[in-house]
Structure 1
């Protein structure tokens, strides 16, 4: 209960700090929503009138206080760029970003853990090749990899669409095809990091005395590797997976721009260009909520994998 209480307090503090910083930083960008809505041909009188209607003429602290009071009661306001409520806009875009993030995390975890375990068990050339692949995966820019995948598998070999998104409810098959390239773009770089971390953790575990004892008792090698060594090596891997998932939040901005996907990342870019402060705040809150949930899941996995971490 103490851990849950500490997690709740730290999550509330994180949400408050992120919302306040986002509000201040967004207000410092040149221009404002009234100028964007009216355009350059508006008269000064029209501009000032719209600023009063939107509450932009109030002090920044007062604007934030009013927004915070409504947000605590679940009202995130109305998006200035499209006239919808912020909640409706986020509901329409959240599924796209979650599909990208979860898909990329699965690709990174399955491919990375598989390669890491195989490299630790086999070693030799495979281990050196994994080191090279890890460096390449970290060095290759994501947008360049995305463009290569589009050129190869959407233009040269038209297996997948180069852009666009199909909702799952419309067509599960087309939904899957529209996500393959962006998910692979996000997941490949992460899989290299996970593979190297898994291999290093597995090598440390395979050298421990209890592994020698298990092998001496005739336990099958597959059981030694997967049921014992991998379980104990999973704690640092889970840490990296948690950090990777948080990093994927920024990666979605790039992937959605390259593949023209209507997710939270592209919404954040659009809202920033339009100086749509309520929508910017809504996207920031969504990303913060994802980070908070990821931290909780990592804590729960720690308890599951290593009971000694409880306390």
Structure 2
């Protein structure tokens, strides 16, 4: 297993290098515009060249990237062109805000989706039809519309929860829980819809297999067959979908963060892209790639633990 983990980590690092290199190459043609935006209106070409040289953007692109990569390996992601803040620290702070929402959403997604998917597959009938209808509705309704409706109902009309803002959990856990409730619900709907459909479909396939009939003929209870055997074997595909849902939640967090004025990873990345803040964009790209690689590795390890036949190490 250790060799498998090492191979995955090495391949993840290679992927991070390739993605950040491509990102840097795509940003390179816009360096003049980035420098002009930093100086302001009415800038002269001489001023652009001078500031470009001062920022180190006049060197060959590959040399600039190798310098950035060398610093990144040592944990130095540079400073923002516009705020002067250390990129690694700032990106980490914003990522922590987003993860505090996404992780809660993911845990609730697992709990709700597994419950609904197992009930729909094992009981069928009205339960199955209601679950499928709810799943379809969750797929069709956009996160933005759900967020706006929740703000109007829970924040404006009922005044139960704050409409905007974010309180760190370290400052006030109760206020933090209240500040993320509406964003979590807005993200949860689509996430539950996708995973529930996967759990339901996989569980139906498992319950039709011969080993399930064999277990039932031996007198094992339906509950034990469903939860101890069928669900365990169905966990592999569901975990794969869950990793996709995690990436989708990171993307969906951008909309939610903008609607609720949350200083998270998505809104920070969006603002940095509009400004053309190269060090911040590169730091965000690196963090995002490493996060996705870590999640995929964790999913593979959990899948191998749940289902020994699925082990590839």
Q: TM-score range by the shorter chain?
A: over 0.9
Matched, 1:133 2:134: yes
TM-score (norm 1): 0.94
Q: 1:184 to 1:273 in 2, by over 3 A?
A: same
Change (3 A) 1:297 1:165: same
Tell me, yes or no, if structure 1 residue 302 matches structure 2 residue 277: no
- Aligned-pair CA distance for 1:139: 2.0
Return closer, same or farther for 1:146/1:14 CA change in 2, 3 Å cut-off: same
Regions of 4+ moved over 4 Å: 28-31
Structure 2 stretches of 5 or more lacking a match?
none
What does 1:146-295 align with in structure 2 at a 5 Å threshold?
Answer: 146-295=147-296
Quickly say closer, same or farther: Cα 1:54–1:97, change in 2 above 3 A. same
Distance in 1 (CA, whole Å) between partners of 2:112 and 2:36 is 48
Kindly state the Cα deviation for residue 115 of structure 1 after the two structures are TM-superposed: 0.7
**Matched residues in 1 for 2:49 and 2:32: separation?**
13
For the residues of structure 2 that align with 1:30 and 1:69, how far apart are their CA atoms? 21
Which whole-Å CA distance do the structure 2 matches of 1:195 and 1:308 have between them? Answer: 24
Instruction: Show the counterpart of 2:86.
Output: 85
SS at match of 1:32: helix
CA–CA distance in 1 between the matches of 2:269 and 2:38? 17
CA contact (8 A) 1:107 1:188 kept: no
Is the CA contact (8 Å cut-off) linking 2:34 and 2:276 kept in structure 1? yes
Q: Name the SS for the 2:262 alignment partner.
A: coil
Gaps of 5+ in 1: none
Moved more, 245-254 or 216-225: 216-225
Which range moves more in the overlay, 75-84 or 125-134?
125-134
Deviation at 1:170, TM superposition (A): 1.2
**1:178 deviation in Å?**
0.7
1:27, distance to aligned residue in structure 2 (A): 3.2
Specify the alignment match of 1:67 in structure 2: 68
Instruction: Please report the RMSD computed on the Cα atoms of aligned residues, expressed in angstroms.
Output: 1.7
Q: Which residue does the alignment assign to 1:54?
A: 55
| 1:161 and 1:178 in contact (8 A); partners too | yes
Q: CA deviation at 1:29?
A: 4.7
C-alpha contact 2:81 2:277 (8 A) present in aligned 1:
yes
Deviation, 1:31, is 5.6
TM-score (norm 2): 0.93
